[in-house]
Amino acid sequence: MSTTTHHPFNQSHSQPRLALRIRPDNPDHHLWNNNGTWWCHFTRHQPDYTKERVRLSLHTNDRKVARLLRDTLLGEA
């Protein structure tokens, strides 16, 4: 029987990975309002173990629209 050991330094991911936290108690997680415009922010972990903070304007002042745009964005990322 063979066993595969996954070492944390093995680069098994060739694509960036998102670090997402789902917070049912905070429906606006990953969102913030900057002077009336909603923004989405998240962290993308790169294959070389670096990370990239992503900040994107959602170009809306409507919280419900911002939530839908965030969900779409994170679903595609």
The one-character DSSP state at 39 is E
Task: Provide the pLDDT for residue 9.
Answer: 39
- Give domain limits for the chain: 26-76
3-state secondary structure of 75: helix
Region at 10 (left for phi over 0; alpha for psi -120 to 50; beta for the rest):
beta
Kindly report, residue by residue over 8-50, the tens digit of the pLDDT.
Answer: 434 455 666 655 666 678 999 999 999 999 999 988 888 999 9
